[in-house]
Structure 1
């Protein structure tokens, strides 16, 4: 955090990071389990943390995000919660007032911020100049600490352990959906938050056309020899994602 604040002081007056990999890296504020949709709570555009070169982080959250995500109990950051009927712009103005911003402030914004967030910030700060906070953080994130390397290795160990148990469970006649469900279950059983991306199988053989996309159309295909199954999956562990690709053959590979 101190190093980021030093870099921020050379580039911008204040930074806003939405709930994202950047924010989790910097403050430990966790992201939710990866999912297909986006849960939209009242005032969701203000979700994230405000940071300055000299102030502790201020985390702004809609009530439902704070309560359902357990984020109202975080340590090391001030948490400001927006009530369901409160005005988000009023809350953000109050947070910004403590930073003594100049008339034309430079605001560093995380690259994962939504366009809706930027539109509201431009309305609140019409003379502001916006720059990338992610570019600042990239200077720190590109070099891993020993602790981060240990976490990445643990993510790999979880993935390998899950794969070993999946292989033990494989049977002729299983469907692709059966195998994918087993992979996702074993990842969580071994300690992952979940898969780091959509678990995929790329199968090929005389009776198994290699298909990309159209998951729902081929999930129910039975896997019968001879067929080669290429697994593509990985574990999420303490904010890091792992990627593993490994083939398994039913029968003699062709």
Structure 2
């Protein structure tokens, strides 16, 4: 069970050091991390209610957390644990959200010199805040929350390990499901992966599941996702998917060959796996920066003659979001410490030939 009181204490200490008087967190990973307010499952489209932009958690140096939501959200979307563990303020139907926000802010006076808001808050939220408190300095909540979330505690690691186990079982099952040259499509495979993850205990997928082929002579764009294209022997099939569990995310990748792989594919696949192993072994406490780990693994593929086909960063932090800082990429000079979690995901994608990738989540040791 996450220890939210300790997280709040650490956040308030960071606020005090940084001269921040109030956090205003929109629905999302930061609010869940700090208070346990769970997000809804990801979905397409914009489901909203009048005054919906008011939704958020307010955390002061000594007051709060206060959760502000419209009446429809309070009645239909809040789980019982959230509604009983937080101080919930409800915007009534027909209520003025700006006046409501002003009333909430008054509870945190007299000190409201600097307010840190969610990095991806709605513009309505940010504009209303500036209108009501024009003299307040507006900062980003990531100044406070991001450093705390980078290092996972034992509860977080247990949840992510369970999410990893779910993905491993789904991958083992999907290999038996594959039936090339039968009319089975990439989308058939992607939807079966989603079904298997839920069957094995996931809340759902952590992002849109992808399974795509690359084959000889075709000019398929790398941006193309799982489609109605039938599986065909002689193609590589790459996977990118992850499970979500209690708000935490997993991210996973593999490539297989549909049929007997040619010698070059075997060599490239082995090269990708070697680069992954180098990256994994480099994740040691206080030994390297994020960009140094990227460079070490990348050099394996460069030395093998395929550097131009390793087209992305080595990996990224992961936790309540699929992509979190730090990033194993050029330019990220943050030093890695024990408890950080990263994907290690080298690849070689050659348009008109094949693709080979692997991806696992690794904890800095």
Superposition TM-score, scaled by structure 2 size: 0.65
Look up the SS of the partner of 2:135 in the other structure.
coil
Look up the SS of the partner of 2:85 in the other structure.
coil
* 1:78 aligned residue (54, 62, 87): 87
* 2:216 aligned residue (195, 201, 206): 206
Task: Give the superposition deviation at 1:145.
Answer: 1.0
Task: Give the superposition deviation at 1:56.
Answer: 2.7
1:69 partnered with 2:77: yes
> Which residue in the other structure is 1:175 paired with?
185
Distance 1:79-1:117 versus aligned 2 partners, 3 A rule: same
Q: RMSD over aligned Cα, in angstroms?
A: 1.9
Q: 2:219 and 2:162 mapped to 1: Cα distance?
A: 35
Look up the SS of the partner of 1:42 in the other structure.
coil
> Which residue in the other structure is 2:253 paired with?
245
| Deviates further, 205-214 or 222-231 | 205-214
> Which residue in the other structure is 1:120 paired with?
128
> Which residue in the other structure is 2:296 paired with?
none
Q: 1:67 and 1:170 mapped to 2: Cα distance?
A: 44
Higher relative contact order (CA closer than 8 Å, sequence separation 6+): 1
> Which residue in the other structure is 1:221 paired with?
229
> Which residue in the other structure is 1:4 paired with?
11
Q: 2:80 and 2:99 mapped to 1: Cα distance?
A: 20
The 5 Å alignment of 1:1-254 reads 1-10=8-17, 11-71=19-79, 74=82, 75-102=84-111, 105-172=113-180, 173=182, 174-206=184-216, 210-215=220-225, 219-254=227-262
Measured against aligned partners, the alpha-carbon deviations of 1:144-167 in whole angstroms (never above 9, x if no partner) come to 111111111111111111111222
Q: 1:252 and 1:129 mapped to 2: Cα distance?
A: 62
Q: 1:208 and 1:160 mapped to 2: Cα distance?
A: 31
Q: 1:72 and 1:190 mapped to 2: Cα distance?
A: 25
Distance 1:235-1:221 versus aligned 2 partners, 3 A rule: same
Q: 2:248 and 2:217 mapped to 1: Cα distance?
A: 37
Q: 2:177 and 2:90 mapped to 1: Cα distance?
A: 46
Q: Is the 8 A contact 2:207 2:242 kept in 1?
A: yes
Q: Is the 8 A contact 1:202 1:211 kept in 2?
A: no
Look up the SS of the partner of 1:59 in the other structure.
strand
Look up the SS of the partner of 2:109 in the other structure.
coil
| Deviates further, 167-176 or 205-214 | 205-214
Q: Is the 8 A contact 2:119 2:142 kept in 1?
A: yes
Look up the SS of the partner of 2:89 in the other structure.
strand
Q: Is the 8 A contact 1:4 1:137 kept in 2?
A: yes
| Deviates further, 116-125 or 143-152 | 143-152
Aligned pair count reads 251
Task: Give the superposition deviation at 1:214.
Answer: 4.7
